Amino acid sequence: MILESQMIIIFGGTGDLTRRKLLPSLYHLLKKKQLTDCTPIVCLGRQKITRESFLKNLTIDKFIEDSDDAVVQDLLGRIEYLSFDVLTGSPPEFYAGIEAIRQKYKCAANSLIYLALPTTVFQKTAELVGVLLDETCWQRVVFEKPFGEDVVSARKLNESIMSVLREDQIFRVDHYLGKELVQNILTLRFANEIFASTWHEQIIDHIQITVSETLGVEKRAGYYDRSGAVRDMVQNHLLQLLSFVAMEPPRAGTADALRDAAAAVIGHLRPVEKKDVVLGQYGSGFVGNSPVVGYTAEDGVSDESVTETYVALRTYVDAPRWQGVPFYLRTGKRLKHRYADIRLVFKHKTSPLGTIPDEPNMIIIRIQPDEGIALTFNVRKPGDSGNTESVLMDFCHHCHFGPNTPEAYESILRNVMLGDHSIFPRWDWIEASWKYIDGLRRIVSPPGNYTAGSEGPVEADTLLAQDGRKWLNDNSSQQIIPLHLG
C-alpha cells in the first residue's frame, strides 16, 4: 500500500534515534515502495553544518543490514538538513526554510513532524509547529518518550501541547507497542478461542512480565540517572505490556475502543505497598566473559547515586477477570540475559488420574529476541506409568513469516502516516500510569546492590518465594523439548 505524499520533518535529526531507528525505518518503507516520490525528509539539528556533511556523518550503512545501494541513494537524495535551535532560533526563519523545501519538491502540504528531542524542548517545539497547521491537509506530530517525569510535569506538558494541537494530531510514542509480538498479544487473545477461554483467574495462577537487559547505562547517564528503571521502563513499556495482557475485549476494533480498554486496566491497578517492590542497582561483575564496572563507576554517574537500575514489582488488577492473580513485573540493566517475555502460568492441579503433572501449563510470549509464542503442556513419559513430562509447542515468528517483519519504529512511522492511533498511548492512559508510578516512588526504599551479570537482587526472588512461586528465567524452558510448529 502506497502512503500519502507528505513532508517528514524530524526535529533531533542529528541525534541517535534518528540515525539508528528513524532513517533506517524510512529506508525499509522506501524499499517496500510505500513512500511516494513526493516524500522529502527534513532533518533539523542545532549544528551549523552543510547538507553534505550531515549526510556524511549519518553513516547510514552501519544501521541497515544488507542495504540495497539504490534504495540508500534514494533515501539520501530526499534528505534536507536545516540548522535550527528550537529555544533560540527565529520562527520565521524556520517557516521560510520549510516553505523553500516544500516549493523545491512541489509537494502536498501534509506533514509528519517527529520530535526526536529531549522532552524539555517539546513544549517550545509544539508551539513552533502549531503555526504550520493548515486545515486543507493533515499535520501529525509525534512525541517521543518520556512524556513528562511525573504526573505534574506530564499534565503541564499535555496542557501546553493541547493548546496548539488537537488530540487527533498528537501521537505519543511507546515504541514497545510497535513490536510485532506486542501487537500479537491482542490477536493471540481475541482471535483464538483456545486462548480467550483460558484468559482469567479461574485458570491462570499468575503472570510474569520480564524485560531483561545486558547493557548498562551506556551514554545515557545524564538522562538515566534522573530517571531510573521505574520511570524509564515501568511507567511506559511494562505497564503497556500489562495493559495488553489484562484488558477486557475492546468493544470495537477501533483505536479508541482499544485505548479505552488499555486505560481501564491502569485504572484498576491496586496501589503498590512497600512489600510489593524491590529496587536494585548493579555493582561490578561480568556480562558473559567481559568484566564491567558498577553503576556508580559509570561515566556521568555520581559515586553517591541511589538511582535504581532494577525493579521487581508485584501488582494486582482489581477487576473480576483477575481477582487474586498476581502480576509480577521486573526489568533491569546489566543482567545475565537480554530478553523480553510474558509468561502466563496456569494453576497447577492434581489431575483426576490422581497424579500431579510435572509442570503447570504455561503460555510464553517472546517479545525479543527469537519472537514467538510457546505453550507448555504435559505428556505421558513413555513406559513410565503415571509420570508426565512437560513439553513445549513453539511458534517461531521469523521461521514462518521470514525476516522482513517491520521493526518497531517502522510500524510506528507507518501508523502515523496512516493516521492510526491504535499503537499510541492516549493521554488518559499516560496520566493514570504516572499517578500509579508516583505512588510507587513515594514508598520505595533506596536500591540494594546486585552483581552485574546476575539475575538481579536476591530480594526479588524472596518477593515471589513469599507467595510460594519463583521467577521463570529465560533458560528455564531449556530442558523442555522444542517442537517447531512454525
Q: Which residues bind ligand NAP (CB under 6 A)?
A: 11-17, 45-47, 85-87, 116-119, 121, 144-146
Nearer to ligand NAP, 14 or 25 (CB): 14
Nearer to ligand NAP, 63 or 286 (CB): 63
**Residue of closest CB approach to ligand NAP:** 15
Q: Known catalytic residue: 237? A: yes
Q: In the complex, what is the shortest distance from the CB of residue 292 to ligand NAP, in angstroms, rounded to a whole number?
A: 20
Q: In the complex, what is the shortest distance from the CB of residue 9 to ligand NAP, in angstroms, rounded to a whole number?
A: 12
Nearer to ligand NAP, 13 or 453 (CB): 13
Q: In the complex, what is the shortest distance from the CB of residue 234 to ligand NAP, in angstroms, rounded to a whole number?
A: 15
Nearer to ligand NAP, 35 or 116 (CB): 116
Angle (CA) 427-434-87 rounded to 5° is: 70
The three cell numbers of residue 67 are 542495504
Nearer to ligand NAP, 63 or 377 (CB): 63
Whether residue 18 contacts residue 432, with contact meaning beta carbons closer than 8 Å, is answered with no
Among residues 237, 268, 397, 421, which one is catalytic?
237
Distances (CA, A) of 240 to 76, 206, 245, 409, 433: 35, 18, 9, 16, 9
Q: Which amino acid is at 442?
A: R
Q: How many other C-beta atoms can be found within 10 angstroms of the C-beta atom of residue 8? A: 22
Return the H-helix or E-strand segment holding 225. Answer: helix 221-229
3-state secondary structure of 475: helix
Distance CA 401, CA 414 (A): 19
Nearer to ligand NAP, 101 or 121 (CB): 121
Q: In the complex, what is the shortest distance from the CB of residue 13 to ligand NAP, in angstroms, rounded to a whole number?
A: 6
Whether residue 249 contacts residue 195, with contact meaning beta carbons closer than 8 Å, is answered with no
Q: Locate all alpha helices (DSSP H) within 21-168, ordered by sequence.
A: 23-31, 51-58, 69-78, 91-105, 122-130, 151-162
Nearer to ligand NAP, 146 or 453 (CB): 146
For 9, phi then psi, to 5°, come to -115, 115
Whether residue 221 contacts residue 297, with contact meaning beta carbons closer than 8 Å, is answered with no
Residues 6+ positions from 119 with CB-CB distance below 8 Å: 144, 146, 147, 148, 149, 157
Nearer to ligand NAP, 141 or 264 (CB): 141
Q: Which amino acid is at 53?
A: S
Nearer to ligand NAP, 16 or 273 (CB): 16
Distance CA 105, CA 88 (A): 28
Distance CA 332, CA 364 (A): 20
Q: In the complex, what is the shortest distance from the CB of residue 84 to ligand NAP, in angstroms, rounded to a whole number?
A: 6
Angle (CA) 130-134-139 rounded to 5° is: 65
Distance CA 205, CA 361 (A): 10
Q: What is the DSSP letter of 116?
A: -
Whether residue 180 contacts residue 405, with contact meaning beta carbons closer than 8 Å, is answered with yes
- The angle that helices 69-78 and 23-31 make with each other, rounded to 10 degrees, is 120
Q: In the complex, what is the shortest distance from the CB of residue 45 to ligand NAP, in angstroms, rounded to a whole number?
A: 3
Q: In the complex, what is the shortest distance from the CB of residue 44 to ligand NAP, in angstroms, rounded to a whole number?
A: 6
Q: In the complex, what is the shortest distance from the CB of residue 40 to ligand NAP, in angstroms, rounded to a whole number?
A: 18
Closest to 423 in 3D by CA, of 437, 408, 407, 435: 408
Q: How many other C-beta atoms can be found within 10 angstroms of the C-beta atom of residue 92? A: 9
Q: In the complex, what is the shortest distance from the CB of residue 413 to ligand NAP, in angstroms, rounded to a whole number?
A: 14
Q: Which amino acid is at 79?
A: I
3-state secondary structure of 444: coil
| DSSP labels, 188-214 | HHHS-HHHHTT-STTTEEEEEEEEE--
As annotated, the active-site residues are: 237
